[in-house]
C-alpha cells in the first residue's frame, strides 16, 4: 500500500490518499499525526501502520471531545465514558477517561461531593445514593460522603418541602398521604418523614 497524495482537508485535518494499486481510499487525520509518522507521497505503508495511525487519530479526537465536554459541565468517569461511547469504540473511550482521571480532569470523588452538596438540599439520602450509583460512583465514595449526614438536616429539608407544597384546601388525611408519597419518592426515610410531619404538626399547618 502506498501514499499517493496528501492534501489539506479542513482546519488541521489532512486527507491522505492510500492505494493498493487497484483502488484508493482516503484517510482523514490530524496534521500533527501525519508529521509524526513522516507521511509523504510515494511512501509505502502497511495495513498495520494504517490501523495504528487511525487509532491514534481517533484517540486524539475523543480526547478533544472529552475536554470540550469537561468545560461544559463536570462529569463522573462513567458519565464521560458513556458520552464518548456514542461516537468512539469502548477501548478508546476508556483510554481517554483513564488519562483524564490521571490528570485530575475527571474526579469521581469531587463530582460526587458537589452533587451531594446540591442534591441534599432537595432530596433524601436514599434518592441521592441511587442517583450517585447511576452515575457510576463507587459505594466506598458514596458511604464516605454520606456517613456524616444526620437526620436533623435531612428532616429540615423534608420539612421545607412540606411547608412549600402543603395544600390546606384538601382533606387532611389525603393531603398527608400525598405529601408522604412525594417525600418517599424523593428518597427520604420513614423516620425522617415522620419527624418532618411531627414538626409540621407543631406548627399547626396540617
Delimit the domains of the chain by residue range: 1-45, 48-106, 108-146, 151-202
**pLDDT tens, residue by residue, 80-126:** 999 999 999 999 999 999 999 999 999 999 999 999 989 988 899 89
Measured between alpha carbons, how far apart are the two ends of the chain, in Å? 81
State the Rg of the chain over Cα: 27
pLDDT of residue 200: 84
Instruction: Round to whole Å and give the CA distance between 155 and 193.
Output: 7
CA distance 133 to 120: 15
Determine contact, residues 34/16, Cβ cutoff 8 Å: yes
Q: What is the fold of 48-106?
A: Arc Repressor Mutant, subunit A (1.10.10)
Asked if residue 205 has pLDDT above 60, the reply is no
Give me the architecture of the 1-45 domain, per CATH.
Beta Barrel (2.40)
16-65 per-position pLDDT tens digit: 999 987 888 999 999 999 999 999 999 999 999 999 999 999 999 999 99
Q: Please state, in angstroms and rounded to a whole number, the distance separating the CA atoms of residues 33 and 16.
A: 11
Q: Decide if pLDDT at 150 tops 90.
A: no
pLDDT in tens, 60-81: 999 999 999 999 899 999 999 9
CATH number of 151-202: 1.10.10
Amino acid at each position: 500500500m502506498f501514499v499517493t497524495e496528501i492534501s489539506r482537508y479542513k482546519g488541521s485535518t489532512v486527507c491522505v490518499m492510500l492505494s493498493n494499486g487497484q483502488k484508493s481510499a482516503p484517510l482523514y487525520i490530524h496534521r500533527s499525526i501525519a508529521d509524526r509518522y513522516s507521511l509523504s507521497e510515494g511512501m509505502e505503508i502497511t495495513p498495520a501502520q494504517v490501523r495504528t495511525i487511525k487509532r491514534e487519530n481517533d484517540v486524539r479526537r475523543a480526547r478533544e471531545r472529552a475536554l470540550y465536554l469537561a468545560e461544559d459541565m463536570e462529569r463522573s468517569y462513567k458519565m464521560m465514558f458513556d458520552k464518548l461511547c456514542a461516537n468512539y469504540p469502548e477501548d478508546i473511550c476508556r483510554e481517554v477517561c483513564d488519562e483524564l482521571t490521571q490528570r485530575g480532569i475527571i474526579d469521581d470523588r469531587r463530582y460526587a461531593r458537589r452533587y451531594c452538596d446540591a442534591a441534599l438540599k432537595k432530596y433524601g439520602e436514599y434518592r441521592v445514593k441511587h442517583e450517585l450509583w447511576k452515575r457510576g460512583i463507587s459505594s466506598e465514595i458514596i458511604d464516605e460522603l454520606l456517613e456524616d449526614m444526620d437526620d436533623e438536616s435531612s428532616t429540615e429539608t423534608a420539612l421545607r418541602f412540606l411547608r412549600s407544597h402543603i395544600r390546606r384546601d384538601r382533606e387532611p388525611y389525603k393531603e398527608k398521604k400525598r405529601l408522604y408519597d412525594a417525600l418517599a419518592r424523593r428518597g427520604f426515610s420513614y423516620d425522617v418523614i415522620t419527624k418532618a410531619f411531627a414538626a409540621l404538626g407543631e406548627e399547626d399547618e396540617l
